[in-house]
Amino acid sequence: MWLLPLSILVTAGALSIPLSRYLAWIMDGHYHAPRLLRWFEERLDTGPSPLMGTWSGCVPSVARSCCSRCGRPDVAPAVKRCPFCKQFRWHCGKWPQQNDSHGEKEHMRKNRKRIAGRWGVRMLVWSMMLGTVPAGAQETPPPATEEAEAPAKPSPWSPVEAVRLAGPLKDYGWEIHGLLATNYTYNFNEPASGKNGLLLMNRKADHFDLDLANIRIQRVIDGGIGFVTDLNFGKTAEVVGRSTRWCEDPRCGESRNSFELSQFYLTYKFPLGNGLTVKAGKWVTLHGAEVIKTWDNINYNISNTILFGYAIPFTHTGLLFNYLLTGWLSLDAGFIVGWDNLYDSNDGKSFTGGLTITPTSTLTFYAAGTVGPEQDNRGDSTRGLFTLLTTYKPTDKWTFILDYNHADETNLLPPFRIPPSPAKPSGRGTRDARWDGLAGYVIYHFTDKLSGTLRAEFFDDVDGVRAGTKQTMWEITPTLAYQLLPGLTLRVEFRHDESSNRFFEGRALAHPVPDGPATRLFPGQDTVAWELVYAF
């Protein structure tokens, strides 16, 4: 198949060189056509012309009145273009003087190589185009048809659509979504208490759990009032509810009934500039790479990071503004009650905000900060948290994420009181605390259904105020996820945790030491887990 095009290409290349020299010889006026050809040209060109009138032949000795390219006389010598070939004389616009043979020859010598090369390249390209086109392709091709669009991916089964409520709700901008997640976790340390260390949502070892049942009801609209409500059931609801303060009593949490309103807020977009969006209510925090799982965000791993459980809050309650400054810069700013609080437990106010920077379509930076008092009845104590989240997605298959968090808290201890005047404080507490950590993610999509995530992180609890004891911890977690059906995902992961202390619990000791630990303690912990998630 390739011999014929190759032979034609080689032949055309070999012939193009002498052919180009022959064409240059003709254009330079050194070639005089045979009498038969001249007679034929005279028959074709004889007759009136709107530009030249009648042509009786060019006089070679009068070069001033003939075009150097086609040889035809010009009735208007002041015009530098030939009316037939539309080219400049001598290809540079200069007119040779009468009997200036030296100037004419010099001009031809300088331009001959350029003319020959130009026509040689043209002939070579034409030969390649004609020689490599199959015979069948020389016929008039049929009209091109538009490429068929890729078929849409099947959507997961939804009970809302099954009862035919999705259409009527959509007419009003309403949507209902859901998530079901169940998991099993095995701990190789076999802790006597049956609890995994540092694992937040999948806390129980060697146990099946209904991790989360989430119902999302929302109305997302630009021209009116919208809202988002997340109703959570299961172990996740217990963990988040245990950390949320709903009333004046610190013990009024929602850790026993396995139900939690993780989000409920109103939204409205004011037509100011690029649009000012206002959010009022309770929403998930701006900090961190991971969130409380919802139907549209199940995180990258089964277990959550140490940072998610010990370095940042879960939710905030208050007022938040969002404004798009430019196409690559947006701002969040608002006032909140505090960390995981619906009831303000002190006389201070807290501020939260964030800045999104998108220099390119593949790179995003998000810097978030929260500052304010968090101790009960202690407006003089200040806790500050800073997060820098970097997301880099060079291709559809690869995603890289870095999540850095730093926090400190001043005047953590209450004022000291000296008897017998307990009502008069003698000073303020001076103990400060600090904690920080870094988490990194590498996500790769092998196919549309199979993906893998490698996560690694460290957390430094400098003063022991977050995990209960001073220690530095790190963990590494590889996870595989496979989509069994539309909306149904199976995930499997292995996780290794390590601490600078003997922090992780093991089996019970057969002969415990008096006033000593009743179980074995390890500096490390290995767990495996699987999870089945369905989202619609």
Name, in order, each residue with C-beta under 8 angstroms of 168's C-beta and a sequence gap of 6 or more: none
Q: Are residues 108 and 211 in the same domain?
A: no
Is residue 165 assigned to a domain? no
How large is the average pLDDT for residues 347-358? Answer: 92
Q: Are residues 83 and 200 in the same domain?
A: no
Q: Are residues 330 and 185 in the same domain?
A: yes
Q: Are residues 81 and 226 in the same domain?
A: no
Domain count, the chain: 2
Determine which of 19-23, 89-93, 332-336, 518-522 has the lowest per-residue pLDDT on average: 89-93
Q: Are residues 178 and 111 in the same domain?
A: no
Give the model's pLDDT for residue 321: 97
Q: Find tokens 């905000």 and name the residue.
A: 353
Is residue 156 assigned to a domain? no
Residue 526 and residue 202: Cα distance in Å, rounded? 14
- Angle at CA of residue 46, ends 44 and 47, nearest 5°: 120
pLDDT band for 168, please (50, 70, 90 cuts): confident
Residue 184 and residue 206: Cα distance in Å, rounded? 7
Cβ–Cβ under 8 Å, residues 9 and 108: no
What pTM was computed for the model? 0.69
How large is the average pLDDT for residues 234-238? Answer: 91
Paired strand residues for 375: 378
Is the model's pLDDT at 108 over the cut of 80? no
pLDDT band for 119, please (50, 70, 90 cuts): very low
Give the model's pLDDT for residue 452: 97
Q: How many CB atoms lie within 10 A of CB 249?
A: 9
Cβ–Cβ under 8 Å, residues 78 and 96: no
How large is the average pLDDT for residues 506-533? Answer: 88
Domain of 231, in residue numbers: 174-535
Cβ–Cβ under 8 Å, residues 106 and 97: no
Q: Is 419 helix (H, G, I), strand (E, B) or coil?
A: coil
Tell me the residue type at 455.
R
Of the chain, the percentage scoring pLDDT greater than 70 comes to 66
Q: Find tokens 């303690």 and name the residue.
A: 521
Cβ–Cβ under 8 Å, residues 310 and 461: yes
244-258 tens-digit pLDDT: 887 766 666 665 678
The more confidently predicted of residues 108 and 222 is 222
Is residue 359 assigned to a domain? yes
How large is the average pLDDT for residues 38-58? Answer: 42
- Dihedrals φ, ψ of 69, to 5°? -100, -45
Is the model's pLDDT at 158 over the cut of 80? yes
Is residue 348 assigned to a domain? yes
Strand (E) positions, 9-71?
A: none
Q: Are residues 318 and 395 in the same domain?
A: yes
How large is the average pLDDT for residues 399-405? Answer: 98
Q: Are residues 314 and 453 in the same domain?
A: yes
Q: Is 39 helix (H, G, I), strand (E, B) or coil?
A: helix
